[in-house]
Homo-oligomer: A and B are copies of this chain.
Amino acid sequence: MLSDIEIAQQNRMEKIQVIADKCGLQPEEIEQYGHYKAKISFDAIRRLENEKDGKLVLVTAITPTPAGEGKSTTSIGLVQALNKIGKNAIATLREPSLGPVFGIKGGAAGGGYAQVVPMDDINLHFTGDMHAITSANNLLSAMIDNHVHQGNELGIDIRQLSWTRVLDMNDRALRNVTVGLGGKVCGFPREDHFMITVASEIMAILCLAKDLEDLKARFGRIVIGCNMQGEPVYVHQLGCEGAMALLMKDAIKPNLVQTLEHTPAIVHGGPFANIAHGCNSIVATKLALKLGDFVVTEAGFGADLGAEKFMDIKCHYAGIYPNAVVIVATLRALKMHGGVAKADLNSENVAAVTAGFVNLKKQIENMRFFGVPVLVAINKFATDTDAEIGELKRLCDEYGVPVELNECWEKGGDGGIDMAKKVAELAESSNPTPKTVYDVNDSIEEKIDKIVQTIYGGVKADFTANAKKQIKQLADWGLDKLPVCMAKTQYSLSDNPALLGAPSGFNITVSDIRVANGAGFIVCRTGDVMVMPGLPKKPAALNMDIEADGTIKGLF
């Protein structure tokens, strides 16, 4: 089997105008970025405003394990397969972050014969959205420090700033820094932190804003910290939301690319799936619904985290709702949930599949809570045995959930024909009534408790003294009537990454509560959340190269 970059390089892409034409966009409605990428203008969005929406399919997964699930590969494979069976289907996906490319991952745009291309560009600077976010984020930081330096009219308390700088790089040395050293001309020294760009609230805002005006209004509502009286300080008080929006004037336009089989894909926005909501932009998904009869989109991590936030945050703000949900599972991951160590995954173990099914079952239950029809997609690996696959199918049948094999990684769209047929059937025949886990007007504690009970299968949330203080502050500020965004380990339904399967009887501990008021949600952290990754001992960067003729190596 060839590597992802080799497959991508062998693929003969269509010019992006051809792809645009395929999905009904007019030539003037796209702005090309090279021959194979384009931004879609808001003229198109306005022209299509009153068109009927297509059917929305959400791809989510069981609780992730180190064995991998292949959610993006499934989403891309599914949209390829839907096109193979004659459906007009479009994928909307998240943009990968540049930083991790140089660390371990080496790239992220699907895999095998289910990729979006040009994968090299998508994994590098793409159309510059990440850089625009970095600039807007750091302009705000510079404006804050400058405001303090130039007299601090707003009385900003530099000991209580929650706004941090960002960089799109895996760089542990920037996690904790002291800025403003060097004496009077360099401002006031203070503690600061750099997060990776995708963790910026600017990214979450980009993905939740309706349009440029909404984007600017949300920038204005960002809380950067407190003043000396303990009152929140908003960006509109600093007056730079206009400049920040100006920096984002192109970033807010969705990006058009294609799959290896030349089906349109809109790749736009990629917020963290822990401290943010982990879904591509609302602008992209809503536009795709106007362009396609079927739209396949995805949410980060497992269904307990990504899909819950998709429903309670993204759908809440977008006024959309999925017609079907695909839950991606692998036999390898289920075997890990059933107690098998990573090293032993290559051996057949039917009993472990049976045992690990509890995790899949719980995630199916979670999606059924939302009243949406569910399909289980088995992302097939070469090591899967017929007996294991048979057992998983039997368990799904027994539980009354449709299940299909997904071999798109190996075969492209042809590997997902049955899956596509079933998805199309489910989505076409469903029209679910939107449902949420909690009411945004519940107290923060109630909202979290409802998620723990309904989705995680736990008892309740415990709050640290710090979290309680923060909840009181947000209530005092009147900023608590927003959806909550859970930042929890993705490796367990609980907040303990060691508890695989479907644990029960547990409490989760909430240690930190902050408002992302521009984005419009409250971030609830349970345990440590890494917002600035580091590089490994042998970074992927060491294997990367570009030759004189432009041949790229080491992106995979």
* Interface residue ranges, A against B (CB under 8 Å): 31-35, 39, 42, 98, 102, 124-125, 128, 131-132, 134-135, 138-139, 141-143, 145-146, 149-151, 167-182, 185-187, 190, 192, 211-213, 216, 239-240, 242-243, 245-247, 249-250, 534-535, 537, 539, 541-542, 544-546, 548, 550, 552-555
Contacts and interface: CB of A to CB of B under 8 A. Distances in A.
A554 B243 contact: yes
Contacts of A102: 139, 142, 243
Contacts of A168: 135
25 contacts: A31-B33, A32-B33, A98-B135, A102-B139, A102-B243, A124-B247, A128-B128, A131-B134, A141-B173, A142-B170, A143-B535, A143-B541, A145-B172, A146-B535, A149-B173, A151-B537, A172-B187, A173-B187, A173-B192, A177-B181, A212-B546, A242-B544, A243-B545, A249-B550, A249-B552
Nearest to A194: B179
A39 B550 CA distance: 15
Contacts of A187: 172-173, 534
A131 B125 contact: yes
Contact of A178 (B139, B146, B181): B181
Contacts of A552: 246, 249
Contacts of A172: 145-146, 149, 180, 185-187
Contacts of A145: 171-173
Main secondary structure of the interface of A (DSSP, over half): mixed
A545 B135 contact: no
B138 A132 contact: no
A554 B176 CA distance: 35
A351 to B, nearest CB: 38
Nearest to A43: B550
Nearest to A244: B541
A212 B548 CA distance: 6
Contact of A167 (B138, B182, B548, B553): B138
Contact of A211 (B124, B139, B141, B548): B548
A491 B42 CA distance: 47
B240 A542 contact: yes
A178 to B, nearest CB: 4
A176 B32 CA distance: 40
A221 B449 CA distance: 57
B242 A546 contact: yes
Nearest first, the 8 closest Cβ-Cβ pairs linking A and B are A242-B545, A131-B131, A176-B182, A243-B541, A145-B173, A176-B181, A243-B544, A142-B171
Nearest to A129: B125
A178 B545 CA distance: 31
Nearest to A146: B535
A318 to B, nearest CB: 19
A139 B4 CA distance: 23
Contacts of A141: 171, 173
Contacts of A179: 173-174, 177
Contacts of A125: 128, 131-132, 135, 247, 250
Nearest to A142: B171
Nearest to A534: B146
A31 B31 contact: no
Contacts of A171: 138, 141-142, 145
Contacts of A247: 124-125
Contacts of A124: 246-247, 249
A139 B167 CA distance: 10
A546 B42 CA distance: 14
Nearest to A190: B173
Contacts of A175: 181-182, 186
Given A128-B131, A168-B135, A545-B242, A150 B186 contact: no
A209 to B, nearest CB: 12
